[in-house]
Structure 1
Amino acid sequence: MTVLRVGSLLFRLHPGALLITLLAIAIMVKLGFWQIDRGQEKQMIIDRHAQAEELIQPNTEQLLALVDSPDTQITITATLDPQRYFLIDNQILHGRAGYHVIAFAQAPEFSPLVLPVNLGWVPAGVSRSELPDVALPEGHVVLNGHVRVPSERPFMLQDQIFDTTDAWPKRIQFPELDKLNSALDVNLAPIILLLDEENPLGFPREWPVVVMTPHRHYAYAVQWFGLAIAALVVFFVASRVRAQAKSYEE
């Protein structure tokens, strides 16, 4: 056991307790800096979204390049595949469970690419075995909105297994574009278009720029740093109390 004297104060530092305390402090400080990094990332997304004012009509080359320019606003005149579409499961809107509808747009300007389009939210049926019957618009339609680059696959207990039958629509948990591409046997663009909330086509939709604001992340960072300081204070207070108790016993 290490004895530390600071002025008239005596601290008996137990190596095991000291190690655990320092480890806990290191973890909390790391989490604090992680929250700061996340807050800065969210602020960059918000700034980028605010600056994406120019509306472009992309050709094939531009559509492929948009993977490096998320939040770009685009507009296209295209046709949607009326039969084949995917339903992203576990989507909540105003407290109700449902699905996001992913349709596929084709246009001469970016042929042979096919562009996935999120048309919005539809409610789930009473039974999980019954998928909603969605009527997609026919003919040429104008689609506009922001580009979204799908994030890395979130944590799932097992890999998605896509329905290989000819039955449509197909329910999925997450839009893994490589698997969507294989299921459709087409050349998908590496992005998803989030249909603008003001577009009269599609279904109800709300596209928050970020789920958690930068200030919330910064507040969590302050909490983690505060806990780290509190852990250090508690450790020294507890060490001092034990030292005093032992001196009284002697």
Structure 2
Amino acid sequence: MTAMKDRRRAVVLVAAILGVALTGRLGWWQLDRAAEKRAIQSGLEAGEKAAALPASALLEAPMPVHRRVRLRGEWLADRTVLLDNRPMNGRAGFYAVTPLRLDGRQEIVLVQRGWVGFDAQQRNRAPMLATPAGVVELEGRVAVAPTRLYQLGEAGTGTIRQNLDPAAYARETGLPILPLAVLQTVGSNADDNLPRDWPTPDLGLSKHYGYAFQWFALAALILGLYVWFQLLRPRRQHHV
């Protein structure tokens, strides 16, 4: 009987140790993820304060994500894509993304130019979008791709679509599009007056801290239950 109790206690002890170790490790993993997001946030803030890079920086490695960049080139207006379901300031509409051929080069970069509303009478009709002709100059923030939303299935083709991947669009059009995007922040010398109140990237720091708290709380609960049921409670019953 004593041997059986000892084996049961050993099993409970091992289970408790594994439970505390696992939940504690998951908690630390969430804190590590939060630290990674903090580093990205610091990069965003530093990129906003740093001087704007020239367009040639887009051709270098590693890609200067989150950095300000100054571009000069010509719009390829007929290749404009409208990203659907993109509200701004409480109004529904599209994000306009137009390829820009860099001045003096063959390379093309996708520029998320600004927001445009949709036609309330014909929801799926692309709105008229004024695109300045000739050489324009503008500033923006480098991103991996135009702003993305969660989607089911393929992104589709056509002027209106849910998301736009630079590499996929390069294959689709045959154009030498760089594998990145620029979110325009400063209007060009021939501005189109599109709103550009881009939302601040939500890195989910609070989510990671919340998950970490939950895992650590679970680890503490497992430890507390073990101490109570295996150590404190038997002693109290023994004294009674």
Which bin holds the TM-score, normalised by the shorter protein?
Answer: 0.7 to 0.9
Contact kept, 8 Å, 1:74 with 1:144, in 2: the verdict is yes
Alignment identity in percent? 21
Contact kept, 8 Å, 1:80 with 1:136, in 2: the verdict is no
Contact kept, 8 Å, 1:42 with 1:214, in 2: the verdict is yes
Match of 1:211 among 202, 218, 225: 202
Higher RCO (Cα < 8 Å, 6 or more apart): 1
Contact kept, 8 Å, 2:138 with 2:187, in 1: the verdict is no
2: CA distance between counterparts of 1:16 and 1:68?
Answer: 52
2: CA distance between counterparts of 1:170 and 1:83?
Answer: 13
- Unaligned stretches of 5+ in structure 1? 5-11
Query: Which position in structure 2 is the counterpart of 1:49?
Result: 44
- Partner of 1:38, secondary structure, is helix
TM-score w.r.t. length of structure 2: 0.73
Contact kept, 8 Å, 1:76 with 1:144, in 2: the verdict is yes
- Unaligned stretches of 5+ in structure 2? none
Q: How does 1:1-250 map to 2 (within 5 A)?
A: 3=6, 13=9, 15=11, 19=15, 25-52=20-47, 53-59=50-56, 62-65=57-60, 67-94=62-89, 96-109=91-104, 111-123=105-117, 126=120, 130-139=124-133, 140-150=135-145, 157-158=152-153, 160=154, 162-163=156-157, 168-172=158-162, 174-196=163-185, 201=192, 202-208=194-200, 210-212=201-203, 214=205, 217-238=208-229
Contact kept, 8 Å, 1:197 with 1:205, in 2: the verdict is no
1:44-64 Cα offsets, whole Å, 9 max, x none, are 2222233331212223xx322
- Partner of 2:86, secondary structure, is strand
Change (3 A) 1:242 1:101: farther
Per the TM alignment, residue 36 of structure 1 is displaced from its structure 2 partner at its CA by 1.6
Contact kept, 8 Å, 1:81 with 1:103, in 2: the verdict is yes
Q: Which residue type is aligned with residue 86 of structure 2?
A: Q
- Partner of 2:114, secondary structure, is strand
Per the TM alignment, residue 233 of structure 1 is displaced from its structure 2 partner at its CA by 1.6
TM-score w.r.t. length of structure 1: 0.71
2: CA distance between counterparts of 1:197 and 1:108?
Answer: 18
2: CA distance between counterparts of 1:27 and 1:150?
Answer: 36
1:201-245 Cα offsets, whole Å, 9 max, x none, are 43343241x41364663454234212221233234435569968x
Structure with the higher fraction of residues in helix conformation? 2
Per the TM alignment, residue 191 of structure 1 is displaced from its structure 2 partner at its CA by 1.3
Change (3 A) 1:189 1:29: same
**Number of equivalenced pairs:** 229
- Greater shift in the superposed pair: 223-232 or 26-35: 26-35
Change (3 A) 1:63 1:25: same
2: CA distance between counterparts of 1:76 and 1:149?
Answer: 16
2: CA distance between counterparts of 1:79 and 1:46?
Answer: 32
1: CA distance between counterparts of 2:229 and 2:80?
Answer: 62
Change (3 A) 1:161 1:241: same
Q: Which residue type is aligned with residue 164 of structure 2?
A: P
- Partner of 1:133, secondary structure, is coil
